[in-house]
């Protein structure tokens, strides 16, 4: 159903799922009605403390009599407030969600709403995929990253044993509902995180994705004088909508053929081997994910040049694009030990797909922007870990006296 003020989207994940989506600005009533149209007996609202504090009454229409319920009583709304960031992606929180669902009386008519950023949506999706072997799920993302990069994937996940996203499922929501207005309250670091994944798309696909990224980052709409401070600032709704459209198109153009991101879709792991290591080494929430990805891209371009895939000129073009963002958000001090980042990269969840030896690591590599190095191993290339170690040292990650990376 098309609702006033919302543009209809279609998220096609090959032959696995086609998920209807809607996008608009200041559309809280329309979003609530989309949920009511599913005729739930109960809504399990999964969010975090930050979002709950900012938008406590966003779904008030669900439990009022203002919404259209087809003559039925309004659903009961139960709220679960999880920790912010990756702290919510744990066994403890997942177990608590399951226990909570049965305690409040969830049924197969119940709808789970993931309301927050990517971490909340990841754990809410995993929870929904397990409850009753699959429950009705709706995503309402509140960050730019979640709006264009998390909604465009069937992946759900939690983190275990100090590693990123190593437990999860593939699961499709029933609806994706995007209100661009949430981006107005994002701190600079979170907005830049969402833009970071757009930098990845620009490098992978080139063309209009690169041009759109350069235009957005070169614009005086983004004031980078205090990059990473966490202060709020604004990008107009029109620019955000254009960026969202580019981000969604980039992912869906590939995932329409590879729903589970095992072959062609693996390209979107570009930069993630090092990104996940940096994020974990700093501690959850210190380095926003999308920014970590762009730093990971810099490491991959060095590898590609060293292996003879990428020319020096093409590497310069690639890195110049990355630095449009990174010059506004330098890695914070103090930096974690080089050996810790290195050891985490060597334990990446993709490890094994390339048959890496003990002194090798793997990531997606490019010949130039818009030209991925194809491989028979899911578009991943293995390479000597010594090149990664060199890059970490060049970036200023400090060594710990007496610690050998080969044994880290």
- Sequence-distant (6+) residues with CB within 8 A of 348 are 163, 272, 273, 276, 277, 361, 362
Q: Can you tell me which residue has the tokens 């090959």?
A: 14
Cis (ω within 30 of 0) for the bond into 250?
Answer: no
13: its two tokens: 């994940």
- Catalytic: which of 197, 261, 269, 389? 269
Q: Are the C-beta atoms of 368 and 311 separated by less than 8 Å? A: yes
Residue 155 annotated to the active site: yes
Handedness of CA 294, 180, 125, 17 (dihedral sign): negative
d(CA 24, CA 28): 9
CA distance 382 to 106: 46
Residue of 7, 30, 79, 155 marked catalytic = 155
- Residue spans of alpha helices (H) in 219-263: 237-255
Beta-bridge mates of residue 23: 7, 178
Q: What is the DSSP letter of 142?
A: -
> Are the CB atoms for 322 and 192 separated by under 8 Å?
no
- DSSP state letter for 65: S
Q: Which two tokens stand for residue 264?
A: 């062609």
Q: Which residues are catalytic?
A: 155, 269
């Amino acid at each position: 159903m098309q609702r006033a003020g919302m543009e209809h989207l279609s998220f096609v994940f090959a032959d696995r799922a086609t998920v209807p989506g809607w996008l608009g600005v200041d559309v809280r009533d329309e979003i609530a009605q989309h949920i009511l149209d599913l005729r739930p007996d109960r809504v399990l609202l999964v969010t975090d403390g930050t979002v709950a504090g900012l938008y406590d009454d966003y779904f008030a229409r669900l439990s009022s009599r203002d919404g259209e319920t087809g003559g039925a009583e309004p659903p009961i709304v139960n709220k679960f407030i999880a920790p912010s960031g990756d702290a919510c992606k744990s066994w403890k929180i997942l177990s608590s969600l399951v226990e909570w669902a049965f305690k409040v009386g969830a049924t197969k008519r119940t709808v789970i709403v993931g309301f927050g950023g990517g971490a909340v949506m990841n754990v809410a999706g995993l929870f929904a995929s397990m409850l009753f072997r699959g429950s009705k799920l709706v995503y309402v993302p509140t960050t730019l990253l979640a709006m264009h990069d998390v909604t465009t994937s069937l992946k759900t996940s939690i983190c275990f044993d100090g590693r990123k996203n190593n437990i999860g499922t593939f699961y499709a929501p029933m609806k994706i509902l995007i209100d661009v207005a949430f981006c107005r309250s994002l701190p600079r670091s979170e907005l830049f995180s969402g833009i970071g994944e757009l930098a990845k798309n620009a490098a992978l696909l080139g063309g209009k994705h690169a041009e759109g990224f350069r235009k957005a980052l070169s614009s005086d709409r983004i004031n980078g004088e205090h990059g990473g401070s966490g202060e709020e600032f604004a990008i107009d709704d029109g620019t955000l909508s254009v960026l969202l459209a580019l981000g969604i198109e980039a992912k869906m153009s590939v995932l329409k053929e590879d729903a589970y991101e095992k072959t062609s879709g693996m390209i979107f792991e570009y930069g993630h081997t090092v990104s996940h290591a940096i994020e974990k080494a700093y501690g959850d929430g210190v380095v926003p994910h999308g920014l970590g990805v762009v730093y990971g891209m810099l490491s991959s371009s060095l590898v590609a040049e060293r292996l003879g895939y990428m020319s020096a000129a093409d590497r310069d073009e690639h890195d110049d694009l990355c630095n449009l963002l990174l010059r506004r958000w330098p890695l914070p001090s103090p930096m974690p030990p080089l050996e810790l980042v290195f050891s985490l990269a060597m334990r990446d969840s993709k490890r094994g797909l390339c048959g890496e030896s003990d002194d090798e690591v793997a990531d997606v590599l490019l010949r130039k922007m818009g030209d991925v190095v194809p491989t028979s191993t899911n578009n991943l290339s293995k390479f000597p870990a010594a090149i990664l170690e060199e890059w970490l040292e060049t970036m200023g990650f400090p060594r710990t006296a007496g610690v050998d990376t080969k044994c880290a």
